[in-house]
Amino acid sequence: MIALELGKAPPKPRLKLVGKEDFSEAVTTKRTLDAQSRDLIYRRIRDLGRMYSLMWLVRQETASVGGTIECLDDAALGDLLSMMERARECRVEGVAFDDAGLVKDGGFCL
């Protein structure tokens, strides 16, 4: 081969045994929800958004993940569902979303 022709051998690869502690928390964190449970939550969120005109809340809460609820982790997904249920109650009872603390400052820069 070329390395033999040049009289140089390629450097040997350096291998290292890695364990759990070598991975970041994001990689080692396991989901607690199975796929079916997540799918049910997605459907409930979308249903609430359509039935009660709450998709603005979904957009607000998923802005950090490009507006895709499937990219939320389990905790954020559960929080979003709770917020959607609270917003539904606000809509039914006539409570302003601002008064309920659901509207956040977007802080978008144009």
- Indicate whether 100 belongs to any domain: no
Task: Kindly state whether residue 12 falls inside one of the protein's structural domains.
Answer: no
* Other Cβ atoms closer than 10 A to 69: 20
Q: Considering the domain boundaries, does residue 99 fall inside one?
A: no
Residue 1 lies in a domain: no
- On whether residue 49 sits in a domain, the answer given is yes
Question: Which of 106 and 66 is assigned the larger pLDDT?
Answer: 66
Domain assignment present for residue 38? The answer is yes
What crossing angle do the helices spanning 74-93 and 35-51 adopt, rounded to 10°? 30
C-alpha distances (whole Å) from 68 to each of 51, 62, 85 are 19, 6, 19
Half-sphere exposure of 71 (CA within 13 A, CB side): 10
**25 within a domain of the structure (yes/no):** no
Interval 13-64: pLDDT, tens: 777 777 767 666 555 455 589 999 999 999 999 999 999 999 999 999 999 9
Q: Residue 109's pLDDT band (boundaries 50, 70, 90)?
A: very low
H helix or E strand, kind and range, residue 5: helix 2-6
Tell me the residue range of the domain where 80 lies. 33-94
Number of compact structural domains in the chain: 1
In a domain, 75, yes or no: yes
